[in-house]
C-alpha cells in the first residue's frame, strides 16, 4: 500500500512528524532520499510504501548523505563534463552509490524520528501549562473532544482571528466534516421591507444521513464547539449563527424531513 497514492494532504509537515503522528513507534523504515530541493516548493515526505514484508520504504525529497558530498569523489571529473551523462537523471553507477548510503541515511532518519517524538511530547505538556497560565483553561476538564483539539490553537489566536478560510479548514479537520463559513446579511427588523441590515458570520457543517435524534445531538455538540471558536477566533464585533445541513439531499414526496437540516426553508 502506498499512502500517498490517494493524494493524502501531507502539507508542510516534516517527514518525521508525519510518521510519528500516523504510524506506531516500532514502524520499520528504509529511507530513500531523492535529492530534490525541498522546503517551500515540495513536500518533505513523498511516499510511504508498506508493500515490503521487511522494512517500509519511505521516500524523502530531501538530500541524503550522497547528495551532500562532492560527486567528484565518486566519478571522474571529465565524466561529469560529458553533457549526455550530466543531464541524465540516474545512471547505473549513481543508483549503486545511492543504495550504498541507504543504511546511513536510514540510521540518521531513525535518530531524528526519536528526537522529533521527544520534542512533541515536551511541547504537548508545555501547551497545557501555557493555556492554563494565559487563559485559565484546564484542558483536562474539557469534555467536548472537538474543543480539546482546538484549545492549543489559542496560542496563535492573534494570527488566526478573522481568517475565515483558515478557520474553516481547522474546523473541517477537527470535526471530520466539511465546514463552510460565510458572511451574510440579516434584517434588523421583522418587517418585509428591510431597510436596515447587519452582517452575520454563518457557519455550516455538511453532515450526511442524520436521523432526527442524531441531528439534535450533533446540533448541541457542534454548537458548543462553534461557541468556543467564535469567542476566540471570530471578530468580536460580528454576531454569528450556525447550522448543520445535509448536502445534496433529494426531495422525496412524503419522505421524512428535519427542519433546518435537509430542508431549505
- Cell 483539539 locates to 149
Q: How far apart (Å, rounded) are the C-alpha atoms in residues 150 and 142?
A: 11
Spans of all domains in the chain: 15-122, 145-245
Residues 6+ apart with CB under 8 A from 209: 246
Which H helix or E strand runs over 170? helix 164-175
Residues 6+ apart with CB under 8 A from 145: none
Residues 6+ apart with CB under 8 A from 25: 117
Grid coordinates representing 260 are 433546518
pLDDT given for residue 228 in this prediction: 93
pTM: 0.56
Residue 127's region, left for phi above 0, alpha for psi from -120 to 50, else beta, is: alpha
DSSP string, 205-249: EE--S--HHHHHHHHHHHHHHHHHHHHHHS-TTS-EEEEEE-TTP
pLDDT tens digits along 103-160:
999 999 989 988 888 887 777 778 888 888 888 888 888 899 999 989 988 988 888 8
Q: How far apart (Å, rounded) are the C-alpha atoms in residues 195 and 205?
A: 30
Q: What value does the CA radius of gyration of the chain take, rounded to a whole number of Å?
A: 26
pLDDT given for residue 5 in this prediction: 43
DSSP state of 155: G
pLDDT given for residue 167 in this prediction: 92
Which ranges of the chain have pLDDT less than 50?
Answer: 1-8, 265
pLDDT given for residue 209 in this prediction: 81
Query: Of how many residues is the chain composed?
Result: 265
Contact between 246 and 261 (Cβ < 8 Å): yes
Amino acid at each position: 500500500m502506498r499512502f500517498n497514492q490517494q493524494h493524502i494532504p501531507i502539507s508542510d509537515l516534516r517527514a518525521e512528524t508525519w510518521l510519528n503522528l500516523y504510524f506506531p513507534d516500532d514502524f520499520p523504515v528504509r529511507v530513500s532520499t531523492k535529492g530534490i530541493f525541498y522546503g517551500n516548493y515540495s513536500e518533505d515526505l513523498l511516499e510511504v510504501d508498506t508493500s515490503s514484508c521487511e522494512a517500509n520504504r519511505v521516500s524523502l525529497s530531501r538530500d541524503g548523505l550522497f547528495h551532500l558530498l562532492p560527486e567528484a569523489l565518486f566519478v571522474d571529473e571529465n565524466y561529469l563534463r560529458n553533457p549526455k551523462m550530466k543531464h541524465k537523471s540516474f545512471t547505473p553507477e549513481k543508483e549503486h552509490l545511492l543504495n550504498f548510503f541507504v543504511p546511513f541515511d536510514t540510521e540518521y532518519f531513525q535518530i531524528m524520528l526519536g528526537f522529533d517524538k521527544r520534542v512533541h511530547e515536551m511541547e504537548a505538556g508545555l501547551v497545557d501549562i501555557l493555556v492554563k497560565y494565559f487563559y485559565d483553561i484546564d484542558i483536562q476538564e474539557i469534555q467536548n473532544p472537538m474543543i480539546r483539539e482546538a484549545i492549543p490553537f489559542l496560542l496563535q489566536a492573534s494570527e488566526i482571528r478573522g481568517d475565515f478560510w483558515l478557520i474553516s479548514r481547522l474546523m473541517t479537520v477537527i470535526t471530520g466534516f466539511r465546514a463552510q463559513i460565510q458572511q451574510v446579511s440579516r434584517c434588523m427588523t421583522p418587517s418585509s421591507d428591510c431597510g436596515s441590515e447587519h452582517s452575520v458570520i454563518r457557519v455550516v457543517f455538511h453532515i450526511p444521513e442524520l436521523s432526527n435524534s442524531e441531528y439534535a445531538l450533533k446540533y448541541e455538540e457542534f454548537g458548543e464547539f462553534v461557541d468556543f471558536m467564535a469567542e476566540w477566533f471570530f471578530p468580536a464585533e460580528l454576531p454569528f449563527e450556525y447550522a448543520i445541513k445535509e448536502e445534496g439531499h433529494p426531495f422525496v414526496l412524503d419522505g421524512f424531513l428535519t427542519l433546518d437540516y435537509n430542508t431549505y426553508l
